[in-house]
């Protein structure tokens, strides 16, 4: 009997203050062979980075306390090896707020809400492929 291929389980941090969306993202990630943890803002997420390594960080840009841009800036400074593991998500106001320019400067991808599950899967596959 041939050996089954090894399934790589990835650890993903979801940083979003929309608890319902974070739950849906967690469900989708389970089907993508990922384990996820959630944080409701950048400050809470920074605490999680102190105790675990993540293969990807799905990060909303607009959150209370520490928003996505400030969180990314802190991560890039304190954990530079994580800077290319971000997938940003945000509502349509991002273009008006100039956040798309910020995301482009990071070299990471952006999904605008509402997005399709297949768009999320594709973006995650691209992110994981960059890390090989």
Tell me the pLDDT tens digit for each residue of 4-53: 555 689 999 999 999 999 999 999 999 999 999 999 999 999 999 999 99
Spatial contact of 34 and 11, defined as CB atoms under 8 Å apart: yes
What number is the average pLDDT over the span 64-93?
A: 92
Question: Encoding tokens for residue 69?
Answer: 């841009």
What size, in residues, is the chain? 132
Residue 104 above 70 pLDDT? yes
Question: Encoding tokens for residue 47?
Answer: 């605490």
Q: What CATH superfamily classification does 10-126 receive?
A: Response regulator (3.40.50.2300)
CA 117 to CA 83: how far, in whole Å? Answer: 24
Closest CA to 10 of 60, 72, 67, 53: 53
């Amino acid at each position: 009997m041939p050996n089954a291929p090894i399934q790589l389980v990835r650890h993903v941090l979801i940083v979003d203050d929309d608890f319902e969306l974070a739950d849906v993202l967690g469900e989708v990630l389970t089907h993508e062979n990922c384990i996820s943890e959630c944080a409701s803002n950048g400050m809470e997420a920074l605490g999680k980075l102190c105790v675990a390594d993540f293969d990807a960080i799905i990060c909303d840009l607009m959150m209370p306390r520490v928003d996505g841009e400030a969180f990314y800036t802190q991560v890039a400074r304190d954990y530079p090896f994580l800077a290319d593991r971000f997938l940003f998500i945000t509502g349509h106001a991002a273009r008006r707020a100039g956040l798309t320019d910020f995301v482009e400067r990071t070299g990471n991808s952006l999904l605008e809400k509402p997005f399709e599950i297949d768009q999320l899967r594709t973006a995650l596959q691209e992110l994981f492929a960059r890390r090989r």
